[in-house]
């Protein structure tokens, strides 16, 4: 997977979906995120965003402010994005985080997995977010959540 930042657009009726990938930094052109004329909903898929540095965060927050009038959904937020959402209070702007990637680990296989979680479906009690339990696709043992729940799921309490 290339580190070069890219935005791929998919228009589906009133819904505009943007698939972001690569690294968000000072060289990333976020102008394709800005659709002041778009009247429908904007879905931003962040699954393939590998990294974002401090310049990238600044650019991103500015972009989200510019489009704050729009209905925005952030989906499949990568672990790099979830960490920023938790650290930077206005990172998601007016966007609603509906799904995100969560790190899991299998001790017997010594393997890491990323599992897509949905805020509404997997976290019925938002005040006490608990990592849902999954089994290893290879050995069927229970996977361990590979981060600190209180830290990683902080944004769920805030939403
Ligand atoms: Zn396993």
What is the DSSP annotation of 94-114?
T-EE-EEEEEEEETTTTEEEE
Q: Work out whether strand 15-24 and strand 6-12 pair parallel, antiparallel, or are unpaired.
A: antiparallel
The label of the residue with tokens 């890219």 reads 6
Q: How far is the CA of 101 from the centre of ligand 1 (A)?
A: 19
CA 122/CA 138 separation, integer angstroms: 23
159 residues of the chain, pLDDT tens digit each: 568 999 999 999 999 999 999 999 999 989 878 876 678 899 999 999 999 999 999 999 999 999 988 999 999 999 999 999 999 989 999 999 999 999 999 999 999 999 999 999 999 999 999 999 999 999 999 999 999 999 999 999 986
Considering the segment(s) 6-97 as one domain, its CATH architecture is 2-Layer Sandwich (3.30)
Which token pair is 78?
Answer: 């990568």
Q: How far is the CA of 143 from the centre of ligand 1 (A)?
A: 7
Q: How far is the CA of 146 from the centre of ligand 1 (A)?
A: 14
Alpha helices in the chain (DSSP H): 54-66, 79-87, 119-122, 149-152, 154-158
pTM: 0.93
Q: How far is the CA of 106 from the centre of ligand 1 (A)?
A: 5
Q: How far is the CA of 117 from the centre of ligand 1 (A)?
A: 19
CA distance readout (Å), 103 to 5, 14, 26, 68, 83: 23, 33, 27, 30, 12
Q: How far is the CA of 111 from the centre of ligand 1 (A)?
A: 7
Which token pair is 4?
Answer: 């070069």
Q: Where are the domains of the chain?
A: 6-97
Q: How far is the CA of 13 from the centre of ligand 1 (A)?
A: 42
Q: How far is the CA of 23 from the centre of ligand 1 (A)?
A: 30
């Amino acid at each position: 997977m290339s580190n070069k930042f890219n935005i791929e657009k998919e228009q589906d009726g009133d819904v505009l979906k943007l698939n972001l990938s690569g690294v968000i930094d000072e060289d990333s052109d976020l102008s394709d995120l800005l659709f002041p004329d778009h009247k429908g909903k904007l879905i931003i898929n962040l699954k393939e965003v590998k990294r974002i540095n401090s310049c990238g965060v600044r650019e991103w927050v500015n972009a989200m402010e510019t489009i704050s009038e729009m209905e925005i959904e952030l989906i499949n937020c990568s672990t790099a994005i979830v960490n920023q959402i938790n650290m930077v209070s206005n990172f998601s702007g007016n966007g609603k985080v509906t799904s995100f990637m969560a790190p899991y680990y299998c001790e017997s296989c010594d393997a890491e997995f990323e599992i897509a979680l949905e805020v509404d479906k997997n976290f019925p009690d938002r005040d006490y977010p608990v990592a849902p339990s999954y089994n290893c696709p290879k050995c069927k043992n229970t996977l361990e959540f590979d981060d600190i729940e209180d830290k990683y799921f902080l944004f769920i309490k805030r939403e």
